Amino acid sequence: MPKRSASQHVPKEMQARFEEITRLTDAFCRTYVNEEYTQLCRELTATLCRKRLSPLVGGKAPTWACGIIHALGLVNFLFDSSQTPHLAASQIWEYFALSSSTMQAKSKQIRDLLGMYPMDPEWSTPSMLDQNPSSGCSRWAG
């Protein structure tokens, strides 16, 4: 699996879709989590936009935004009350007026497509990387 890029550059034909989804993830992250999640959501959205036959071309923007946040939440233990920030998964699907099963299905699609897993150093927030003894050197360093 190639290393992901922190770039938010997307193909011209995907720019409007990128902006539509990131407006939603930005608003959620400002309300419920932090700037680290805002940035990571933008990078994940851009990565999905750059995929050949991007999955983002179909489906509703709120469904993708919800799935993106949930996928990153699973990687970063967002649903663990011992972590900061943390929240209940229900806050995500309720915010987007979706069902739990819709959120989980979209999240799984994203995680499967990109091979994401808990504490995945490619998709961890900087603060989560600092807590991960197996991450070696941080991609955020330097």
The larger pLDDT score, comparing residue 13 to residue 1, is at 13
Q: Looking at residue 142, what is its pLDDT?
A: 31
Sorted by where each starts, the structural domains of the chain and their CATH numbers stand as 14-125 (1.10.472)
Whole-Å CA distances, 69 to 34, 97, 142 = 12, 14, 27
Q: What is the per-residue pLDDT across 44-90, written as a single tens digit (0 to 9) for each? A: 999 999 998 999 999 999 999 999 999 999 999 999 999 889 999 99
Residue 45 CB-density burial (10 A; 0-12 exposed, 13-18 middle, 19+ buried): buried
Chain centroid to CA 71: 6
- Checking if the pLDDT of 136 tops 90, the result is no
b/e code 128-142 from CB counts within 10 Å (16+ = b):
bbeeeeeeeeeeeee
Which position has the token pair 């902006």? 19
What values do phi and psi take at 61, rounded to 5?
Answer: -55, -45
Q: Looking at residue 4, what is its pLDDT?
A: 58
Q: Looking at residue 6, what is its pLDDT?
A: 67
- Checking if the pLDDT of 23 tops 80, the result is yes
Q: Looking at residue 9, what is its pLDDT?
A: 87
Instruction: Provide the whole-model pTM.
Output: 0.88
C-alpha to C-alpha distance for 122 and 18, rounded to whole angstroms: 20
Mean pLDDT to the nearest integer, 9-36? 96
Mean pLDDT over the full length of the chain? 89
